[in-house]
Amino acid sequence: MKEYHAKAYDHLMRLPGFSEQSVTTHLTLYQGYVNNTNLLAEMMREQLTVGQCGTIEWAEMKRRFAWEFNGMRLHEYYFENLTGTATALDRQSQLYKKIEEDFNGYGLWEQGFKGTGGMRGIGWVILSYDVQTGRLFNVWLNEHDTGLLVDTLPLLVMDMFEHAYLPDYRLKRQEYVEAFFNVIDWGRVEKRLSDCLKSQLPIAGRDAA
């Protein structure tokens, strides 16, 4: 069975506003999600092989798998939409125009995204694309596996767990959010939108083109 492997994110060591210690700790946590995803997948496969899929243990592993897998994948989205050479979002880009259209202005979108990041609690803030309607949403994803909107794909992901901001910003969450906005790789986010638009394949609940 094919295993998942932690990706290399050396570029994170050069992020303005993010200390090397903070990044190193974050990458270590990410490695844990990758390891546990592989471990649970193998354990569930073994349990299934011996006919134990009806046990309490198997059920709990199945529930835990979403936590570990989403923790792995969301961190990959997060790390990959950061860059040490960030530039402002191009006002002529498809992404900017889409944000303007769906949020009645880029400023209102940014206000809403940052405001979501300022909410109490741990989780993720995600600019999500609804594949059925093409509409954008700012989503609060509680933990890793609660609050995900079905049939949406992440374009921009911001980690709001304490390990993402406490080492450098303590309880000043909004300062972390501002630091995050200073290192967004808008080119990566734009590509994610472009990939969504190119892959409008028929799915459940939507008529084929």
- Give me the long-range contacts of 16-19 (CB less than 8 A, separation at least 24): 16/84, 16/179, 16/182, 16/183, 17/168, 17/179, 17/182, 17/183, 18/168, 18/179, 18/183, 19/167, 19/168
Q: pLDDT value at position 146?
A: 85
Cβ neighbours, 10 Å, residue 48: 11
| 75 annotated as ligand-binding | yes
Separation of alpha carbons 123 and 50, rounded Å: 36
pTM of the model: 0.92
Separation of alpha carbons 74 and 108, rounded Å: 25
| 5 annotated as ligand-binding | no
pLDDT in tens, 168-188: 999 999 999 999 999 999 999
| 130 annotated as ligand-binding | no
Of the pLDDT bands very low, low, confident and very high (cuts 50, 70, 90), residue 93 is very high
